[in-house]
Structure 1
Amino acid sequence: MEEIKDIGTSSEIANAFTYASFGERFCAGFIDSVIMGVFAFGIGKFAHVSWIKEVMEVIFTIAIAFFISSHYQGTPGKIILGLKTTNVDGEKICFLRALGRSAFYSLSYFVYISLGLMLFAVKFQDYILMIISLLGMIVFGVMPIVGYLMIAFSKRKQGLHDKIFGTIVIRKQI
């Protein structure tokens, strides 16, 4: 008769993983940024429309979600560095969770950039819009920085987007 082994609680399972460090995640993000930058530059060279940046942001957000929810469980940068994104139990996440995580992560930068541009576009006589823009820049400008720094200081190396969507980034088991 086969013995059933107690694998422990969710937190015990999660502690068994080797979490990706801040540096590893930063390097993976840098690799992804280079790949997306080359792609965006190529598209931008031929598409002379003002809204191409917004379209590319949506495309990249969806592409990241597909990569994370696929059997690769990570973006190209994470794949190259031997990392993967899972739920806190180490299981593959579904596309909707990956999309939410990716959109939250992307939206903070997108809104920050948009609000920054809006601030410069405002004629300084519209003080209400200027104050709204400044508040938006502060909130959405600080959020990605704090969210990313959380990776360096949290026990499970989770950013804000990881905590909200119940994900972790771990090293693949060899």
Structure 2
Amino acid sequence: MSATSNTYILVINGKPEGPFSIDELKAHNIKPTDFIKTEDMVDYKEAHEIAELRQLFGFSKAALLIQYYGSFDQRLTAAAIDLFFVSTVCAVLMFAGAMLINSQLIVLIMTLGLAIIIPIVNLVYHVIMESSARQGTHGKQLLQIRVCDMEGNRISFGNAAGRNLAKIFSLLPLFMGYLYIFFNKKQQGFHDVIAGTLVIKDRLD
């Protein structure tokens, strides 16, 4: 959708108002730091963060102010939620398939195959979700943390894939790459350092 066909919700004196067209936004004299969103956006952003508005109003994009980083316990909790979610979906689909198959051998193979299928599905799920507009899995969203690059921007599909594949270096040996989170200011695991990513939480609740 082009910028000229979007309508925007603008926060005025702490309250969302609109929707406004581009011409109506111009009449409001919006500033780069005004909070604004389209109906398609999940959350509000400052006007300078939206490419269409930067182009139309001549705003320059300011570096994202990172308030604090996702902690080890937040990341661990999110990972547990995601693993439970993925495992449940895979198990339900396997059970549904087993109901349609009479061969006990095939059912046994399918059941044992979950040990391989679940990690693969979990990897793909993380790559897709972390490179999406939400910048995080459902577990991360529940914990209000997200994955970004070193400037706070959304990462690409390739970067998300590299980050998740690099988790092997955080797992071996003895989870040292995850323990490294405790010993650096930006709370990065080895896989974050390799991929040039951060796990952040933008605003304090």
Number of the residue aligned with 2:177: 147
Query: Could you tell me which residue of structure 2 aligns to residue 102 of structure 1?
Result: 164
Cα shift at 1:82: 0.8
Partner AA of 1:158 in structure 2? Q
Q: Which residue matches 1:162? A: 192
1:23 and 2:53 aligned: no
Quote the sequence identity (%): 26
Q: Structure 1 residue 38: deviation in Å?
A: 1.6
Partner of 1:32: 82
Q: Which residue of 1 aligns with 2:143?
A: 81
- Could you tell me which runs of 5 or more consecutive residues in structure 1 were left unpaired when the two chains were aligned: 8-12, 113-139
Q: Could you say if the C-alpha distance between residues 44 and 148 of structure 1 is closer, same or farther in structure 2, counting changes exceeding 3 Å? A: farther
**Structure-2 separation of matches of 1:141 and 1:101:** 18
The 8 Å contact of residues 66 and 200 in structure 2, kept in 1 or not, is answered as no
Q: Which runs of 4+ in 1 moved over 3 A?
A: 2-7, 13-17, 43-48
Amino acid in the other structure paired with 1:36: V
**TM-aligned CA distance change 1:48 to 1:42, over 3 Å:** farther
Contact 2:128–2:157 (CA<8 Å) still a contact in 1?
A: yes
CA distance in 1, matches of 2:60, 2:159: 30
The answer to whether 1:171 aligns with 2:194 is no
Aligned residues: 136
Letter of the 1:101 counterpart: R
Which one of the candidate residues 41, 51, 58 is aligned to 2:120?
58
User: In the alignment, what sits opposite 1:41?
Assistant: 91
Specify the code of the residue in structure 1 equivalent to 2:134: Y
In the alignment, the residues of structure 1 paired with residue 153 and residue 73 of structure 2 have an alpha-carbon distance, to the nearest angstrom, of: 23
1:4-36 per-residue CA deviation (whole Å, 9 max, x = no partner) reads: 8895xxxxx577431111111111112112212
User: More strand per residue: 1 or 2?
Assistant: 2
Higher helix share: 1
> Which one is further off, 86-95 or 22-31?
22-31
For 1:14 and 1:153, the matched residues in 2 are separated by 24
Quote the Cα distance in structure 2 between the aligned partners of 1:48 and 1:164.
Answer: 39
Residues 147, 154 of structure 2: 8 Å contact kept: yes
Q: TM-score, normalised by structure 2?
A: 0.57
User: How far off its partner does 1:43 sit?
Assistant: 3.9
* AA aligned opposite 1:34: F
Report if aligned partners of 1:68, 1:75 keep a CA contact under 8 Å in 2. Answer: yes
Q: Higher relative CO (CA 8 A, sep ≥ 6), structure 1 or 2?
A: 1
Q: What secondary structure, in the 3-state scheme, does the structure 1 residue paired with 2:200 have?
A: strand
User: Relative to structure 1, is the Cα distance of residues 5 and 94 closer, same or farther in structure 2, using a 3 angstrom cutoff?
Assistant: closer
Pair 4,99 (structure 1): closer, same or farther in 2 beyond 3 Å? closer
Cα distance in 1 for partners of 2:135, 2:193 equals 17
| Aligned-partner Cα distance in 1 for 2:88–2:61 | 48
